[in-house]
Structure 1
Amino acid sequence: MSEDLEPLPPAEAVNLYLSHREPELSEKSLENQRYRLNSFISFCQEENIENLNALTGRDLHRYRVWRRNGEGDGYGDDGVSKTTLRSNLATLRVFLEFAAGIDAVEQGMRERVLLPEIDPEEEAKDEKLSEDRAKAILEHVEQFQYASRDHVILALLWHTGIRLGSLRAFDVSDFDPDAPCLELRHRPESGTPLKNGKAAHRTIAVGEHYAEVLQDYVAHNRHEVTDDYGREPLITSEQGRLTETPIRRTVYQWTRPCMVADCPHDEDPNDCPYMNRDRASECPSSRSPHGIRRGAITKHLRDGTPEEIVTDRCNVSSDVLDQHYDQRTEREKMELRREFLQDA
């Protein structure tokens, strides 16, 4: 350990780092950084590392293995994907560079964090919600919670393939029941920016059935509230526009297989810890909002929807579509091309 280092507990160092990054990061990015570094704090607590000055390359190797095995995240024996592991370690490297700059760790500690190599095809095969599961979930919610907020959240995410941030950006006035369609607009000045800014402006067609669901939701189950900017949000809580966290919680809750079918992990729902809403995301088979988006886009493509229509509707470039969303096999693509040429 260098004599030039100044003692600093890991948790305090992480707080200093996040405060340093706060002005330059979006709220979502800062939340992601905090989440990833919380795992490192947990590791330090388990290993009794109370002072970052004592951190060694061997500790970092142990953390890499610890995190790869899913420790600190509730994954247990299933571990985490290479993509998740890489993002965690990449964030740790930036943090350690900051820590070296404030004399908390030795210079060069950043380079001792080895990032896993990821094959582009493997990286693209992240989890998605399958069409069969989506259909079962929507049929169940439609039967037992018709036109509820949960029903609208799940139906719109699947039907449109939009991002979570786009879903919460809708106002009541953005819904035209006569068309029927939804207008999506970038409004950063009033709290609802879109990922791709004004380039994400578009009008999204809504099927007649889901238009009826939306009308019934607005008429009977939407809270009559405005947000902090005087706008009337479409997806609401009693306090105003629904934030991202409860939307994620809703998705994780409903995508647990045991909500509509048998548990594939042989767990008893009465005893399973993941039946707690706050732990639904830890279920190995639950899916994130992005998993719904990936599944919805894949369904559009498998149904033969032209790629240019999918890229416009879902606001995704062709390159990103091919690498991260298109999970069709080469044979599926060939069969669709054959059908297109036969119909031409």
Structure 2
Amino acid sequence: MSQPDQYEVQIAGTADGGDRVPDLSPREASERWLNKLRVSKAESTVSSYHYRQKHFVEWCEAQGIETIDELTGWDIESFETHRREQGLSPLSLNKELGTLQNFLEYCARVELVDENLPEKVDPPDVPRDDHVDETRLHADDAEALLEYYRNNADDRVRYSRDHALLALAWYTGARLGGLRSLDVEDYNRDEEYVQFTHNPDQDTPLKNGRDGERIVGLPGHVCEILNGYIANERHEVYDDYGREPLLASQLGRVSKNGLRAWMYLATVPCLHTDCPHGNERPTCDFVDYSEASKCPSSRSPHQVRTGSITWQLNRGVPPQVVADRVNTSVRVIKRHYDQPTKLEEMRERRQDHLESLDFDDEGGDGE
């Protein structure tokens, strides 16, 4: 998907020396807000705001609203009704109106609209579960896949790119962009860690910018796989900036879409078990590079990340430690990623506390 154009809004000087608030159109005000966000937000984040906000801008233009200061609470209500009638899901409408509210708060702060206008936006309440994509790579499936690669007698499989990618993703919980950013020199085989570095000028930004930079330790068996991959299977190539990407294609650093396709291919279940969908591997279209994403049981990098975070928490790793490793907050983990089933939660998290739930000589209200 191409990135939206970056706009520079030119505001002419005014006869009174420039003190008057300019009469910006909704589109001009929106473009100015987005440009301001680019200073502190990742381009992918600004892009998502742009696509949510454009519906409001286009609606204003269709309604003949020429300047942003014309907006009223009734306009906000009318726009929400318009979007509801277009069949938006509650979650999509919640996100779109939340973005509109943020935009209007900016407009109110710089006195483009009435200071009370942002309060007129009322995003619909959405159940917590609607915010969560429950599709993830489950721990049992991850274990089976990793054992298939690790125990394979063919070193071309054991030290394959797919194994290196899946092991890195599972044991770091990193985002797609973070995995793609790694260079060979970011992997320290002696101290057993990888280092994530923000390099936006060299096409490897991290989602949270400099705040996303971190060092993540790796288990020894993962390092053994990475060592074998680098020595035997990694393409010895450089990217356009003279860097050596760790997860390399034949042409250099893989694109995001390419890395996503690799992950789908690395997680097809028929690598380690009979096809759960009744297909035969020799004739199954899903084992092809360009078709693996269509397999109902293959998983994207985000779904591997989700499974990894849940698994780390189930293994007893403290939430703050997990948050630091995967570069997010405890709040976001609990809202979006922490997805244990009820049985998992009982087995993995509550079992250790059962011994405390008993009467003994030490407890109770005895004097």
Alpha-carbon displacement from aligned partner over 1:160-217 (angstroms, at most 9, x marks no partner): 1111111111111111111111111111121111011111111111111111221222
Q: TM-score, normalised by structure 2?
A: 0.64
Q: 1:133: which partner in 2?
A: 141
- Which residue in 2 is equivalent to 1:201? 213
Cα–Cα, structure 1 residues 193 and 20, in superposed 2: closer, same or farther, change >3 Å?
A: closer
Distance 2:178 2:83 in 1: 36
**8 A Cα contact 2:320 2:329, kept in partner:** no
| Greater displacement, 242-251 / 268-277 | 268-277
Given that 1:175 and 1:182 are in contact with CA atoms closer than 8 Å, whether structure 2 keeps it comes out as: yes
Q: 1:146 to 1:269 in 2, by over 3 A?
A: closer
- How far residue 301 of structure 1 moved from its aligned partner, in angstroms, is 0.8
Q: Which amino acid aligns with 2:297?
A: S
> Which residue of the partner structure matches residue 116 of structure 1?
89
Partner of 2:203: 191
Whether 1:231 aligns to 2:243 is: yes
- Residue 172 of structure 1: aligned partner: 184
Residues 65-122 of structure 1 show CA distances to partners (whole Å, capped at 9, x for unaligned) of: xxxxxxxxxxxxxxxxxxxxxxxxx96x75655655776xxx9654532332342124
CA distance in structure 1 between the aligned counterparts of 2:180 and 2:146, rounded to whole angstroms: 19
Distance 1:96 1:316 in 2: 30
Where do 5+ consecutive residues of structure 2 fail to align?
A: 8-30, 63-77, 91-125, 358-367
Letter of the aligned partner of 2:86 in structure 1?
Answer: V
In 2: Cα distance, 1:18 partner to 1:187 partner: 21
Partners of 1:245 and 1:31 in 2: how far apart?
A: 17
2:235 corresponds to which letter in structure 1?
Answer: H
Inter-partner Cα distance in structure 2 for 1:30 and 1:285? 32
User: Contact 2:163–2:266 at 8 Å: present in 1 too?
Assistant: no
> For residues 193-249 of structure 1, what are the alpha-carbon distances to aligned partners after superposition, in whole Å with 9 as ceiling and x for unaligned?
101111111111111111122122222222222211121221111211122122111
CA 321–183 in structure 1, closer or farther in 2 if over 3 Å, else same: same
Q: Would the aligned equivalents of 1:227 and 1:241 in 2 still touch at CA under 8 Å?
A: yes
Structure 1 residues 127, 191: CA separation in 2 closer, same or farther (over 3 Å shift)? same
Sequence identity (%): 37
Distance 1:32 1:282, change over 3 A: farther
Q: Which residue of 1 aligns with 2:320?
A: 308
User: Deviation string for 1:14-35 (max 9, x for gaps)?
Assistant: 99x96689997977579989xx
Alignment of 1:268-287 (within 5 A): 268-287=280-299
Shift of 1:317: 0.5
Cα distance in 2 for residues equivalent to 1:185 and 1:170? 8
After TM superposition, the score normalised by the length of structure 1 is 0.67
Q: Is the 8 A contact 1:165 1:244 kept in 2?
A: yes
AA matched with 1:136: A
Task: Give the stretch that moved more between structures: 94-103 or 230-239.
Answer: 94-103
Cα distance in 1 for partners of 2:174, 2:270 equals: 25
Query: Which residue pairs with 1:157 in the alignment?
Result: 169
Contiguous gaps of at least 5 residues in structure 1: 1-13, 34-89
Task: Note the C-alpha offset of 1:158.
Answer: 0.8
- SS of 1:294's equivalent? helix
Structure 1, 272-281 or 227-236: larger mean CA deviation: 272-281
231, 234, 257: which one aligns with 2:269: 257
Distance 1:265 1:31, change over 3 A: farther
In terms of Rg, which structure is larger?
2
Deviation at 1:338, TM superposition (A): 5.4
- CA drift of 1:257 comes to 2.0
Q: 2:257 aligns with which of 213, 229, 245?
A: 245
The CA RMSD over aligned residues, in Å, is: 3.6
Larger CA deviation: 267-276 vs 135-144: 267-276
